[in-house]
Structure 1
Amino acid sequence: MYDLYGEFPQLASLRYLNHAAVAPWPQRAVLAVNRFAEQNARIGARDYPDWLQVEQRLRQRLQRLLNAPTSADIALVKNTSEALSFVAFGLDWRAGDQVVISTEEFPSNRIVWEALERFGVEVVQVDLQQGDAEQSLLDACSPRVRLLAISAVQYASGLRLDLQRLGQGCQRRGVLLCIDAIQQLGALPLDVQACQCAFAMADGHKWLLGPEGLGVFYCRSDLRERLKLHEYGWHMLEHAGDYQRTDWQPARSARRFECGSPNMLGAMALEASLSLLEEVGMSDVAKDLHERVQWLLDGLDKIPGVRLHSPREPERRAGILTFSLDGWDNARLFERLKAEQVICAQRGGGIRFSPHFYTQERVIDETLQLLSQLATG
């Protein structure tokens, strides 16, 4: 059984509200990396087969987290941007094709599609703040649209979209759905089968509580061979490890997107972090996170001069609240909060708070008290 506060002893002196950026590791991830480093120092790669078992457990945990049909649908990638690039430059585009995105996307989910301009692909941007966000996105899916690329949760406003509704709408229109899941995976449950998406990707260093440099790419099995490969190496082969073999073919599994040696150090950390999320259970993670976000929202509403830039409806939120404070420039307020050990971010025309399921009561209370003092002082 996990000791929740024992998992995050390094946060005793911080008010950490920045999981939408880079999250702290739980203690079990720290210990896993320490063990791995010590083993490397003592015996090198003598027990490499044991390392591969950890990597396989990581794939299985990610499969369960996404509810992918099998672990063969899971590729371990460097980051979300790499996975998005696999999709963008893997599909067989024709001049005149269109991709639909929103006007609120993080640059990773905009630039990669704009880079297709040289192939004659047009990017259609949809304003999510004008009425029904899902319907606006689906209405933009004309017969020329091949793919809808959308973040499950917008990084700045925290707006959460109804992925099942989008998936059903895309299915009816013959449009592929690509989900940037980085601001939802690990914060709320995500079911790639229920939302009928073609692709989903996320980094491990936010809500998954893992390191930078390792993420997940889900590719639906019937689409794997439709994505042209641009990276080749020993690890992505069907018969990887048979070094004398001269004939070759890409792996039938999603490992075909992993060209070279794995990030084993990152795998040790992320596998350990995901074990914590599994022990807690994603339904409880979501419930506890909702309570903390609501607590923050209720407190912000009592502070004079606070203007909220995030949705108020529970079904439209995940773990992000963005706000501004009258009389305070955002940059100055951010620096003041940082000086008081409130770890947050400047995003979306305001200050972004992003607690997680384990965030302590005193972190929220002390942060709200500080903001109240700044508002009235």
Structure 2
Amino acid sequence: MLTNKIREQFPILKEEVNGKPVVYLDSAATSQKPQAVIEAVSHYYETSNANVHRGVHTLGNLATDAYEGARDKVRAFINANEAAEIIFTRGTTTSLNLVAQSYGMMNVEEGDEIVISYMEHHSNIIPWQQVAKAKKATLKYIELTEDGEITLDAVKAQVTDKTKIVSVAYASNVLGTINPVKEIAEIAHAHGAVMVVDAAQAAPHLKIDVQNINCDFLAFSGHKMCAPTGIGVLYGKRALLDAMEPVEFGGEMIDFVGLHDSTWKELPWKFEGGTPIIAGAVGLGAAIDYLEEIGLDNIARHEQELVAYAIERMQQIEGIQLYGPLDPARRAGLITFNLQEVHPHDLATVLDMNGIAIRAGHHCAQPLMKWLEQSATARASFYLYNTKEDIDQFVEGLKMAKEYFG
């Protein structure tokens, strides 16, 4: 288990909620930020705040170096071939929309297929719905096992020679399921399709190697991995990004602008129109430094221990229903559940009264809720700063809610 020294590096964990020490179990929605990231962003604003790629003055050069330095940290973090394959965006949603609106609209034709799964976040459903509607293509869904997992046979049953795009979450934000994205990519490529990976719930917790996975695109957000909100990443293979058209136009993404026509800058800047999210990128670079110093393998091991402990404790409560695979080795650091005859929002409210923050609702995954035959669920999600003591307080809060609602 990671030590309490980790907790000391997150200032917000010293706060109180409703007079109780905060127990933050909502990191799947957004993680808390360590002092190192807070200071990195503050240092940028205090010492080198300027626009990038524009001026020749010293502050502009310092800002550009920090911004492009963060891009190279991301490249190394996911083992991309080159920094040009790293596009900074506002987050996973923007990244997936960029792929859909550029690559999807350019390459999908009438009668083609797009394949996703029932466990996808709305950000990995709606963009593909729009492409399918616009291009008169077919949107198909990979079936799930009873435990909420994807089998390769289920993938093979949906992916055909008509399939142009396969887009799947690396880890589910509801079920916690870790999907075999490398093997799914092999199936997609065997049929001539590209593989898109939504890594929003994986990048904070698992070591990602895009060359090993051999995905064509990969998207993730900074705010779930200790970085500021508003910064995200789209990785794409150079050949694909080179062939794609930008979807946002304006300053800094152009090479030449005439009265009636324009040309675009080279990668990655043709996809980064306007003033970029400079401070966010600096914060993301600092977050990557922080996580790699601790070690992604250590974080994953810590979360597995927490999940195993939480499942064991929660299963002792009568009337609790857990969703997703119960084997901690096959899931990310979150547990989605319902407590019999207690609405998830009521449960979350009672827990909040005791300083415990969890998520309640459909988790931006309504098709999955329908598959689960639930209108809403509760979710506790863990990260490197959580402890078994947090889980003990959480479980006591569940027991209290059960008694309160009788």
After superposition, the Cα gap between the structure-2 partners of 1:75 and 1:132, relative to the gap in structure 1 and judged at 3 Å, is: closer
TM-score by length of 2: 0.84
Q: Residues 130-279 of structure 1 correspond to what in structure 2 (within 5 A)?
A: 132-206=150-224, 208-237=225-254, 249-279=263-293
Give the whole-Å Cα distance in 2 for the aligned partners of 1:21 and 1:79. 13
- Structure 1: which amino acid aligns with 2:389? R
Does the C-alpha gap of structure 1 residues 363 and 221 become closer, same or farther in structure 2, counting only changes over 3 Å? same
Q: Identity of counterpart residues, as a percentage?
A: 25
Q: Which amino acid aligns with 1:219?
A: G
Matched positions, count? 369
Return the offset for 1:159: 1.7
Q: Is the 8 A contact 1:309 1:350 kept in 2?
A: no
Contact 1:171 1:196 in 2 (8 A): no
1:99 counterpart = 2:114: yes
- 1:11 paired residue number: 13
Do the aligned residues in 1 keep the contact of 2:247 with 2:271 (CA within 8 Å)?
no
Give distance in 2, aligned partners of 1:251 and 1:134: 40
Partner of 1:309: 323
Q: Secondary structure at the match of 1:5?
A: helix
* Distance in 2, Cα, partners of 1:332 & 1:344: 11
Structure 2 unpaired stretches of 5+: 15-20, 51-56, 364-368, 370-375
Q: In the alignment, is the contact (CA less than 8 A) between 2:321 and 2:338 conserved in 1? A: yes
- State the AA in 2 paired with 1:47: L
> What is the rounded CA distance, in whole Å, between the counterparts of 2:388 and 2:85 in structure 1?
39
What's 1:362 paired with? 389
Q: CA deviation at 1:46?
A: 5.3
TM-superposed CA distance for 1:362, in Å, is 2.0
- Partner deviation per Cα, 1:212-231 (whole Å, 9 max, x = no partner): 21100000112112222222
> Could you say what secondary structure the match of 2:276 adopts?
coil
Give the SS at the match of 1:129. Answer: coil
SS at match of 2:172: coil
Please state whether the residue corresponding to 1:366 is helix, strand or coil.
helix
Which segments of 5 or more consecutive residues in structure 1 lack a partner in the other structure? none
Shift of 1:249: 4.4
Shift of 1:126: 2.4
- Structure 2 counterpart of 1:28, from 36, 41, 59: 36
Q: Are 2:155 and 1:122 equivalent residues in the alignment?
A: no
Partners of 2:350 and 2:401 lie apart in 1 by 9
| Counterpart for residue 18 of structure 2 | none
CA distance in 1, matches of 2:388, 2:330: 23
The CA deviation at 1:11 is 0.7
- Could you report, residue by residue, the CA deviation over 1:23-46 in whole angstroms, capped at 9, with x for unpaired residues? 11111122223233334799xx85
Deviation, structure 1 residue 248:
7.1
Q: Deviations 1:290-336 (Å, cap 9, x if unpaired)?
A: 11122211211222221101211234201221011123121211111
Q: C-alpha separation between the residues in 2 aligned to 1:203 and 1:361?
A: 27
Distance apart, 1:283 and its partner CA: 1.2
Q: Is the 8 A contact 1:204 1:211 kept in 2?
A: yes
C-alpha deviation, 1:3, in angstroms: 4.8
Per the normalisation by structure 1, the TM-score is: 0.90
SS in 2 for 1:200: strand
In the alignment, the residues of structure 2 paired with residue 57 and residue 3 of structure 1 have an alpha-carbon distance, to the nearest angstrom, of 28
Aligned-partner Cα distance in 2 for 1:235–1:86:
18
1:47-82 per-position Cα deviation (integer Å, ceiling 9, x unaligned): 222222221221122112212112221111112222
Deviation of the 1:143 alpha carbon: 1.6
1:145–1:326 distance in 2 versus 1, CA, 3 Å: same
The verdict on how the C-alpha distance between 1:258 and 1:328 changes in structure 2, with shifts beyond 3 A counting, is: same
Q: Are the counterparts in 1 of residues 115 and 140 from structure 2 also a CA contact under 8 Å?
A: yes
Secondary structure of 2:8's counterpart equals coil
